[in-house]
Amino acid sequence: MSGLSGLNKTPGGIVISVVQSQLFDVATPSDLAHATSHITTLVKRTKRAYPSTDMIIFPEYCIHGLSMRTDSSIMCTLDGPEVSAFKDVCKAEKVWGCFSIMEKNAIDGGNPWNSGLIINDAGDLANYYRKMHPWIPIEPWYPGNRGISVFTGPGGVKMALIICHDGMFPEMAREAAYQGAEVLLRTAGYTPPIAQSWELTNRTNAFSNLMYTVSVALAGTDGTFKSMGEAMFCGPEGDVLVRGNNSPDEAFACEVRVEEVRRRRRHWGVENNLYQFGHRGYVAVRGERVIVLIRI
């Protein structure tokens, strides 16, 4: 089901690539500019390696590293040079992109937001999300105020973006599915102790909601911290379709056939949890059979 790990694309399918980008130590505007340039280079490299790619996903902290610095000089804005660079490369390469920034909080005057950006193949900001669940007690980010991020991605596929620790809450994936998401994107900066929980939740979120999950973390070390990589594509039955490793800057790809989600959600009886949660025991309750027939 992976299209030979994204090398083939069938009608109705899309190819998503994820990049386990190198963990950097970012302390100055110069460091930030270097990291941004590195990410845009990886967009070009990934598109060459997987020409059928429709969308490229980068990890949380891809240009800020794991230091948790909140210095104003290295915080980003939606109209700043970092986001402009992401827009330019997506337009030039004709590919969708998902990127991470630490965003200045000019509204609440509080700590910055941890934000994920979705940029389309025309170079426009298609959607963005602010992480709702900072990793307690480590992360200093202001909790997100934009709710679950659901958008229409390449090929008309409904997608949602969550960030790292968000994925440990089943409610986040379920809410995304209730809003119509067929693919759940999860970006992270996780370190190796989380690897087992990472796989468990990625697979469970997929199976429990009959959706694809596409997940990627940073990789490598900045001399202090070490990230785990562990890119992972899971199918709607919770099976791992493509699995990454811990190599920095390595890209992995997979074909996503969204009809596999739509078919299961429409026709499955057993384990169609999205439907059954609201229609418990429908085969034994008067009136519920009519609802099922309408649904199918």
Tens digits of residue pLDDT in 174-208: 999 999 999 999 999 999 999 999 999 999 999 99
Q: Which helix (H) or strand (E) holds 152?
A: strand 149-152
Question: How many C-beta neighbours within 10 Å does residue 141 have?
Answer: 22
Contact 120, 96 (CB under 8 A): yes
Confidence of residue 277 (pLDDT cuts 50, 70, 90): confident
Name the active-site residue from 62, 76, 90, 164: 164
Name the active-site residue from 131, 230, 234, 254: 131
Closest Cα partner for 53 from 93, 103, 109? 93
Q: What is the pLDDT of residue 286?
A: 67
Domains detected in the chain: 3-257 (3.60.110.10), 258-296 (no CATH)
Name the active-site residue from 47, 60, 82, 255: 60
Q: Does residue 60 have an active-site annotation?
A: yes
Task: State the residue for tokens 């009959």.
Answer: 210
Sheet with strand 13-20: strands edge to edge? 125-130, 113-119, 96-103, 53-57, 13-20, 250-257
Q: Does residue 62 have an active-site annotation?
A: no
Q: Which residues pair with 103 in a beta bridge?
A: 76, 113
Distance CA 179, CA 189 (A): 26
Kindly state the average pLDDT of the residues 212-238. Answer: 97
Q: Does residue 131 have an active-site annotation?
A: yes
Confidence of residue 285 (pLDDT cuts 50, 70, 90): low
Report whether pLDDT(119) > 60.
yes
Kindly state the average pLDDT of the residues 99-108. Answer: 91
Residue-wise DSSP of 109-135 = -SSPEEEEEEE-TTS-EEEEEE-SS--
Structure tokens at 261: 């989600």
